[in-house]
């Protein structure tokens, strides 16, 4: 069995495109935390955790298939934009359907192969050009909101929130804050309830 640990993202992607499923799984595992980081603010805002994670993974798969190194941006930058866009579109679609399941009746294969998920050279170049600005604005906006929102939280809840938004699993959060996983889960649920009363659509996931 091949050890892909020291392979670069680019090498893994090329192998994945050539049909190496193990290399693709390694790349997906490598970016799983990024998917959680992108999806969790929307979970706090009211989205379904599993649906949001699946949508984020679809965005990652789209990035793997459509990334062009000549565009000038790193694969991570492109992947983050694709993941965030995928999750956001799913949230918008669910809102329009009055919170129907995000993936109702839509197969994984259809989403990956559909024209909507494929980015042409012009679209990809546009994403590369605006990626830095979009990332800065998105991160600064989230940072500002959660900084303001944290004033409504206890010290313990604030610690849990920031570890949670970093994509850490409950076990690691519990270790970091010196508490049990159950206490972390309870804190997350309290944060969700408090966030629901704020003028911002949010929701937290437990992966």
Q: What does the pLDDT average to over 64-92?
A: 86
On whether residue 158 sits in a domain, the answer given is yes
Strands (E), 41-192: 44-45
In a domain, 159, yes or no: yes
Residue 199, domain member (yes or no)? yes
Quote the number of domains for the chain. Answer: 1
| 1 domain-assigned | no
CB 192 within 8 A of CB 47: no
The contacts of residue 81 (CB under 8 Å, 6+ apart) are 127, 131, 134, 135
Kindly state whether residue 3 falls inside one of the protein's structural domains. no
Helix, strand, coil content of the chain in percent (nearest 5): 70, 0, 25
Domain range spanning residue 139? 9-203
Q: Rounded to two decimals, what is the model's pTM?
A: 0.60
The answer to whether residue 61 is domain-embedded is yes
Element at 63 (helix H, strand E)? helix 49-66
Residue 132 lies in a domain: yes
* pLDDT (tens digit per residue) in 92-142: 777 666 544 444 433 333 333 333 333 444 444 454 445 454 555 555 555
Tens-place pLDDT, residues 148-180: 666 788 989 988 988 888 888 899 999 999 999
SS3 207: coil
22 belongs to a structural domain = yes
């Amino acid at each position: 069995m091949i050890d892909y640990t020291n392979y670069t993202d680019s090498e893994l992607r090329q192998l994945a495109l050539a049909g190496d499923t193990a290399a693709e799984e390694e790349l997906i595992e490598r970016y799983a935390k990024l998917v959680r980081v992108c999806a969790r603010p929307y979970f706090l805002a009211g989205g379904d955790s599993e649906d949001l994670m699946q949508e984020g993974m679809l965005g990652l798969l789209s990035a793997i298939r459509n990334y062009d190194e000549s565009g000038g941006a790193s694969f991570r930058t492109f992947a983050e934009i694709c993941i965030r866009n995928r999750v956001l579109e799913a949230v918008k679609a669910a809102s329009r359907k009055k919170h129907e399941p995000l993936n109702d009746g839509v197969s994984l294969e259809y989403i990956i192969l559909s024209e909507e998920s494929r980015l042409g050279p012009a679209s990809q170049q546009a994403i590369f050009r605006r990626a830095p600005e979009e990332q800065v604005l998105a991160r600064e906006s989230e940072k500002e909101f959660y900084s303001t929102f944290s004033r409504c939280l206890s010290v313990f809840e604030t610690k849990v929130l920031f570890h949670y938004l970093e994509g850490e699993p409950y076990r690691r959060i519990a270790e970091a804050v010196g508490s049990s996983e159950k206490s972390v889960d309870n804190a997350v649920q309290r944060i969700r309830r408090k966030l629901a009363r704020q003028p911002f659509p949010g929701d937290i996931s437990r992966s």
